């Protein structure tokens, strides 16, 4: 009976796969004996597929013994698919890894220990050491498990036209919160006098890249790493209060609901707000969305009363090697190439910073003909101290991706929208977030 059922199932599968002409086999077929090593490489960026394939061709030309197969999944599906591969012990030789998951993957031993490569390969000096170390810190272990290929960081965007019109000088790295607040007040304008603000001084809501940069620039911490608890210290609380007060007390920033009809990343380039703190990767979107006549710039996030300069919120994206890779040396060669030498400036969405120094400092990457003129700030930040609040379960408690309407994100929005008081929100955050963290760390 079992056999009949099994063979019937097989039959149905076969019949159905004839129908499903879209089905494809992902298994590499390589029977050619002259190419002894075939590597699998998984990437999450479909927009780079063609460029990555060109890169492979170059790599293969330089390394005649190695053949590379590339598989690309969009970011949203990438994690589920790669988890399945991990589950089935079929991880590709080289795969993309994010700061959000690296700790969980390191704990499950799903990435090869790279210590011997990183400590001994002379080419490593071409990469920002701060990024390589940040990966080690974020993964929470005592070994290198991934090699960064790019960094994203956070900056203050500002609209130069609006600053000029208000007679204000542009923000600098020396700005204090007071300087920021004064400017924001002057930049919040009801242009047609109908009682509705048409130009806001500042835009933010509960999103991680809009909140955490302020926290770190004020010397604060959201997570107590010794106990692995969500415990915003006094500086962090001061920052969160300041950020919510921008709407509730100073009225220089809109509520989340007032802006929910416009995409978060379009509010600044569409000229609805004069200043904005968010990820540097939005430089690309600014260039696409903003009117060509709009003049804008970037600078570092204002340092808070208890903060110090030179601490930034940023995190790398990495490549990792499967723990059971059959040809680790070849995989390392490939990894080094795709993270460094093989990359070109056009493979970086404007605002992402290469971890490979020759490229990051090249004139093709820092194109002076395009806005913002201050783009070199990004590479300066790449060399600074990086702080993050990534933990296991981060996307769940922070409210990221498909959970963006939940977690801390949603609590901060509710405070800004006036649905709950600051204290109420914080005690709720304490309870909810710590119950998530307790699951992972106790």
Partner 1 sequence: MRKNNRIQTTGVYALLILVALVSIFPFLWMVSSSFKSDSNVFSATPSLFSDMLFRKDMFRNYQVVLKEFQFSRYILNSLFVSLSCAIGQVLVCSLAGFAFAKMKFRGKNFVFSFLLMTMMIPVQVTIIPEYFLMMSFGWIDSFLPLIVPSFLAGAFGTFMYKEFFEVVPQPLFDAGIIDGVGAFGMFSRIYFPLTASPTVTLFIIAFMNAWNGLLRPMLYISTDKLQTVTLALTAFQSQYDTQWNLLLAGSVISILPLLILFVFCQRYIIESAMGSGVKG
Partner 2 sequence: MRRRKLCWHGPLTPWLFLLPTVIGLLVFRAIPVGAAFYLGFTRWSLLNNPVFIGLRNYKEAFASATFFKVVTNTVVFSLIYVVGVMVVSLAFALLINRKLKGINFFRAALYLPVITSAVAVGIVWNWILGPQYGILNIILTKLGITPPYWLGDPRLALLSVSVVQVWKMAGYYMILFLAGLQNMPHEVLEAATVDGAKPFQKFFHVTLPLLSPTTFFVLTVAIIDSFHNFELIYTMTKGGPQNATDTLVYDVYLNGFVNYRNGYASAVAFVLLIFVGVLTLMNFYIKKKWVTQG
Per CB under 8 A, residues contacting partner 2 are 5, 8-9, 12, 79-80, 83-84, 86-87, 104-105, 108, 110, 256-258, 260-261, 393, 395-396, 399, 401-406, 410-411, 413-414, 417, 419, 428, 431-432, 435, 439
- Binding site partner of 393, from partner 2, partner 1, none, Cβ cut-off 5-8 A by kind: partner 2
- Binding site partner of 395, from partner 2, partner 1, none, Cβ cut-off 5-8 A by kind: partner 2
Q: Which residues contact 144 (CB under 8 A, 6 or more apart)?
A: 113, 114, 115, 117, 118, 132, 135, 136
46 near partner 1, rule: CB under 8 A:
yes
Task: Compute the distance between CA of residue 352 and CA of residue 317 in angstroms, rounded to an integer.
Answer: 10
Please report how close the Cβ of residue 402 comes to partner 1 at its closest, in angstroms.
8
Q: In this complex, which beta carbon is closest to partner 2, that of residue 261 or of residue 291?
A: 261
Binding span for partner 1 by CB under 8 A among 30-38, 76-84, 120-128, 391-399:
76-84
Please report how close the Cβ of residue 80 comes to partner 2 at its closest, in angstroms.
7
Please give the residues from 2 up to 21 whose contact with partner 1 meets the rule CB under 8 A.
12-13, 16-17, 19-20
Please report how close the Cβ of residue 86 comes to partner 2 at its closest, in angstroms.
5
266 near partner 1, rule: CB under 8 A:
yes
Q: In this complex, which beta carbon is closest to partner 2, that of residue 79 or of residue 170?
A: 79
Task: Compute the distance between CA of residue 138 and CA of residue 95 in angstroms, rounded to an integer.
Answer: 18
Q: In this complex, which beta carbon is closest to partner 1, that of residue 404 or of residue 420?
A: 404
261 near partner 1, rule: CB under 8 A:
yes
SS (H, E, C) the chain: CHHHHHHHHHHHHHHHHHHCCCCCCCCCCCCCCCCCEEEEEEECCHHHHHHHHHHHHHHHHHCCCEEEEEEECCHHHHHHHHHHHHHCCCCCCEEEECCCCHHHHHHCCCCCCCHHHHHHCHHHHHECHHHHHHHHHHHCCCCCCCEEEEEEEEEEEEEHHHHHHCCCCCCCCCCCHHHHHHHHHHHCECCCCCCCCCEEEEECCCCHHHHHHHHHHCCCCCEECCCCEECCCHHHHHHHHHHHHHHHCCCCCCCCHHHCCCCHHHHCCCCCEEEEEEECCHHHHHHHHCCCCCCEEEECCCCCCCCCCCEEEEEEEEEEECCCCCCHHHHHHHHHHHHCCCCCHHHCCCCCEECEHHHHCCCCCCCCCCCCCCCHHHHHHHCCEEECCCCCCHHHHHCCHHHCCCHHHHHHHHHHHCCCCHHHHHHHHHHHHHHHHHHHHC
- Binding site partner of 421, from partner 1, partner 2, none, Cβ cut-off 5-8 A by kind: none
Task: Compute the distance between CA of residue 140 and CA of residue 247 in angstroms, rounded to an integer.
Answer: 36
Binding mask 81-120 for partner 1 (x = CB under 8 A): x--x--xx--------------------------------
Q: In this complex, which beta carbon is closest to partner 1, that of residue 44 or of residue 128?
A: 44
Please report how close the Cβ of residue 87 comes to partner 2 at its closest, in angstroms.
5
Please report how close the Cβ of residue 355 comes to partner 1 at its closest, in angstroms.
27
- Binding site partner of 256, from partner 1, partner 2, none, Cβ cut-off 5-8 A by kind: partner 2
Please report how close the Cβ of residue 79 comes to partner 2 at its closest, in angstroms.
8
Q: In this complex, which beta carbon is closest to partner 1, that of residue 47 or of residue 172?
A: 47
- Binding site partner of 257, from partner 1, partner 2, none, Cβ cut-off 5-8 A by kind: partner 2
74 near partner 1, rule: CB under 8 A:
yes
Please report how close the Cβ of residue 231 comes to partner 2 at its closest, in angstroms.
19
Task: Compute the distance between CA of residue 349 and CA of residue 44 in angstroms, rounded to an integer.
Answer: 14
Task: Compute the distance between CA of residue 50 and CA of residue 48 in angstroms, rounded to an integer.
Answer: 6
- Binding site partner of 14, from partner 1, partner 2, none, Cβ cut-off 5-8 A by kind: none
Q: In this complex, which beta carbon is closest to partner 2, that of residue 24 or of residue 196?
A: 196
73 near partner 1, rule: CB under 8 A:
yes
23 near partner 1, rule: CB under 8 A:
yes
Please report how close the Cβ of residue 253 comes to partner 2 at its closest, in angstroms.
16
Please report how close the Cβ of residue 37 comes to partner 2 at its closest, in angstroms.
27
């Amino acid at each position: 009976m079992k056999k009949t059922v099994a063979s019937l199932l097989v039959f149905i599968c076969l019949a159905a796969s004839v129908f499903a002409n879209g089905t494809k086999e992902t298994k590499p077929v390589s029977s050619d004996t002259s190419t002894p090593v075939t590597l699998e490489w998984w990437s999450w960026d479909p927009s780079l597929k063609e460029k990555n394939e060109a890169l492979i061709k170059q790599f293969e030309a330089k390394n005649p013994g190695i053949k590379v197969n590339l598989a690309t999944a969009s970011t949203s599906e990438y994690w589920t698919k790669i988890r399945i591969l991990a589950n089935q012990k079929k991880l590709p030789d080289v795969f993309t890894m994010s700061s959000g998951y690296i700790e969980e993957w390191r704990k499950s031993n799903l990435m090869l220990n790279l210590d011997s490569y990183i400590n001994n390969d002379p080419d490593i000096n071409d990469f920002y050491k701060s990024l390589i170390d940040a990966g080690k810190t974020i993964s929470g272990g005592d070994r290198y498990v991934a090699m960064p290929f790019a960094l994203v960081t956070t900056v203050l965007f500002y609209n130069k036209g609006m600053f000029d019109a208000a007679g204000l000088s542009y923000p600098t790295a020396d700005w204090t919160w007071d300087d920021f607040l004064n400017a924001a007040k002057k930049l919040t304008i009801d242009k047609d006098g109908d009682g509705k603000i048409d130009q806001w001084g500042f835009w933010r809501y509960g999103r991680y890249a809009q909140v955490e940069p302020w926290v770190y620039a004020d010397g604060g911490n959201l997570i107590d790493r010794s106990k692995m608890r969500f415990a915003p210290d006094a500086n962090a609380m001061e920052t969160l209060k300041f950020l919510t007060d921008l709407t509730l007390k100073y009225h220089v920033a809109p509520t989340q609901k007032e802006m929910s009809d416009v995409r978060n990343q379009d509010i600044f380039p569409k000229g609805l707000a004069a200043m904005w703190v968010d990820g540097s990767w939005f430089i690309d979107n600014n260039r696409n969305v903003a009117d060509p006549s709009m003049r804008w710039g970037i600078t570092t996030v204002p340092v808070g009363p208890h903060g110090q300069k030179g601490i930034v919120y940023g995190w790398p994206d990495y490549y990792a090697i499967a723990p059971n890779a059959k040809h680790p040396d070849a995989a390392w060669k490939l990894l080094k190439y795709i993270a460094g030498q093989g990359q070109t400036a056009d493979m970086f969405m404007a605002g992402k910073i290469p971890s490979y120094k020759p490229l990051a400092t090249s004139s093709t990457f820092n194109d002076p003909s395009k806005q913002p003129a201050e783009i070199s700030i990004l590479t300066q930040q790449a060399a600074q101290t990086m702080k993050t609040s990534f933990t296991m379960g981060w996307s769940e408690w922070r409210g990221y991706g498909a959970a963006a309407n939940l977690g801390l994100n949603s609590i901060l929005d509710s405070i800004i929208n006036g649905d709950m008081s600051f204290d109420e929100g914080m005690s709720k955050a304490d309870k909810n977030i710590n119950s998530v963290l307790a699951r992972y760390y106790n």
